[in-house]
Every structure is written in structure tokens, then in C-alpha cells.
Amino acid sequence: MATPDPTVVERAEQATEPSSTSSSEPAAPLTFQVKNLSVWYGEKRAIDDITLDITSNAVTAIIGPSGCGKSTFIRCLNRMHELVPKTRVDGTVLLQGEDLYSSDVDPAIVRRRVGMVFQKSNPFPTMTIGENVVIGLRLNGVRNQEFLNERLEKSLRMAALWDEVKDDLHKPGTSLSGGQQQRLCIARALAVQPEVLLMDEPCSALDPIATAKIEELIYELKTQYTIVTVTHNMQQAGRISDYTAFFYIGKLIEFGATTKIFTNPSERQTEDYITGRFG
């Protein structure tokens, strides 16, 4: 079986081994507790009875073949899936113990607490680099320019972009390279100070150099944020994640510390996928 490089082992061995493959309770604090989650788009069931705990200040990678429910799952963590017509959800998603689907919970507040970075970088084309970063704050009613300037610089620094753009904040966000645009979108998500970052294949459209910068950024950000990322890249999942969940046809097949999933999986389907026998 293929094994990850030494960096994978060194980083992921720091993770606490979950107690089971489908319903685990790591010793570390939990950000999300997902219980018996199922999602339908019309009559089609997209994910089926998922139970999964997500550890705080760690990177959890969601892997699996196309169409297995990975993106649907992470969108359920901030209720983004509700933007799709005829979507129905059963089950429970707790964020720091709070039921995100309770009738008294505002989805807009959930999305501020749980930020999202998409597969394709999407800076607003009519806005400057600076405006792109603080637009979320402005939409939330922040008008103090000193505060906005401070948050702008801090967010760009956290996204490892400040030194590259500090003299060009007046230029369009779309003037940046693909990798810079993706880091700009990360800075925009960070500006509203979320508790969690969801990333849906954030490196799939980037070259290897830009991908390496995003991966290093993810590793650094987990000290302050819980990160859940979807990826098709097995090597990337091994490099950046502490925990890995393998989905197949809408079901959670296996979940555990990344070193175990990649070197000694419990399920044959997991081994077959990681070693490239299917997917």
C-alpha cells in the first residue's frame, strides 16, 4: 500500500485517534458534532445517515470520488445547501453544542460563524483588492474606517498576502494571479472572524507553487481555526490534514486519524480508493 511522505506522518501523528470509524469522540475539544445527517435534493438522497465529530483547531479532510456527497456535507455545516431549491435535511448538526438547524437560529449568523472558501476563486470583479476583503464587514454594518483598515491588514497578513498587495490595494481583485485570488478569498472569509473555515477543493485550479502556499497557509491557520476541506488529491489530504473522512455514494465509510487512514485503513473500500484502484 502507498504511504504518505514523512511530513504526513509527523504532522498527523499529533492527532488523537478517534474511537471508531463512524461515530468518534476524540479527546480534543469538538467544534462540530454531526448526528444521523441525511440530505435530499428533491427525491435524490445525496448523503445518508452521517455521524461524525470534527475536532477543534485541526484540519479534517473529506475525500471520496466525484458525486459521493463531500461538498453537500460541508455545505450542511453552514447551511449553504439551503440555497439549492427542494433541499431537505434530517439529523442534527451541533456547532459548539448549539443546534444549527434549530428554528430560532438565523442562517446568516451561521454563515458568519462558519466561513466558506470555494473551489474557484471568486473575487468581486467590480471591487478593489481592499474592498473585496472588507465587504463582509460592510454588509454587516461596520462603518468605522480605522477598524476596517486594521481588519484589512490583519486579514491579508493572515492569508500571507499583505506583503504582495499592500501597495496595490486600489487595484481590482481580478488583477491578481489565480493563487493570489484564492488567498484574497481566504482573507475575505477571515475578515469577519469566523470560528470555522470550510474549503471546497481550494487548490484544484491552482499550479503546484500556488497550491504549496495554500497548503502551508492551511497548516498555519489551524492554530486559530477549525478547518474542514474537501479534496480529490490524496497526497494533499495526507500532507495537510489531521483527520480524514472517506465518503462513498453518500455514506461515510471510514473516519480516523490521517496516518491510520492512509497507512492502515480498516475498510477495504478505503484502501482501494487511496491506492487508486477506483475513484
What would the DSSP string read from start to end of 183-227? HHHHHHHHHT--SEEEEESTTTTS-HHHHHHHHHHHHHHTTTSEE
Q: Answer yes or no: is 153 within a domain.
A: no
Report if residue 138 sits inside a domain: no
CATH number at residue 91: 3.40.50.300
Per-residue pLDDT 10s for the chain (279 aa) are 444 444 444 544 445 444 344 444 446 799 999 999 999 999 999 999 999 999 999 999 999 999 999 999 999 999 999 989 999 999 999 999 999 999 999 999 999 999 999 988 999 999 999 999 999 999 989 999 999 999 999 999 999 999 999 999 999 999 999 999 999 999 999 999 999 999 999 998 899 999 999 999 999 999 999 999 999 999 999 999 999 999 999 999 999 999 999 999 999 999 999 998 875
Would you say residue 264 lies in a domain?
yes
Is residue 120 situated within a structural domain?
A: yes
Residue 104 lies in a domain: yes
Locus of grid cell 454531526:
34
Q: Is 249 a member of any domain?
A: yes
Q: Report strand pairing: 226-230 vs 59-63.
A: parallel
Please give the tally of structural domains in the chain: 1
Crossing angle (nearest 10°) for helices 145-158 and 129-139: 120
C-beta separation of 74 from 61 below 8 A = no
- Predicted confidence at residue 8, as pLDDT, reads 46
N- to C-terminal Cα distance for the chain? 16
pLDDT value of position 62: 98
pLDDT tens-digit series, residues 161-201: 999 999 999 999 999 999 999 999 999 999 999 999 999 99
**Structure-block grid coordinates of residue 28:** 480534543
Domain membership of residue 252 (yes or no) is yes
Cell numbers for 116: 466558506
The per-residue pLDDT for range 83-119, each reduced to its tens digit, is 899 999 999 999 999 999 999 999 999 999 999 999 8
Alpha carbon distance 160, 174 (integer Å): 18
pLDDT at 141: 92
Domain membership of residue 79 as a residue range: 6-126+195-274
Domain membership flag for residue 235: yes
Q: At what angle do helices 178-191 and 145-158 cross, to 10 degrees?
A: 130
pLDDT of residue 279: 59
Q: Which residues, 6 or more positions from 268, have their beta carbon under 8 angstroms from its beta carbon? A: none
* CA count, 13 A, side-chain hemisphere, 266: 15
Among candidate residues 217, 169, 170, the one with its CA nearest the CA of residue 189: 217
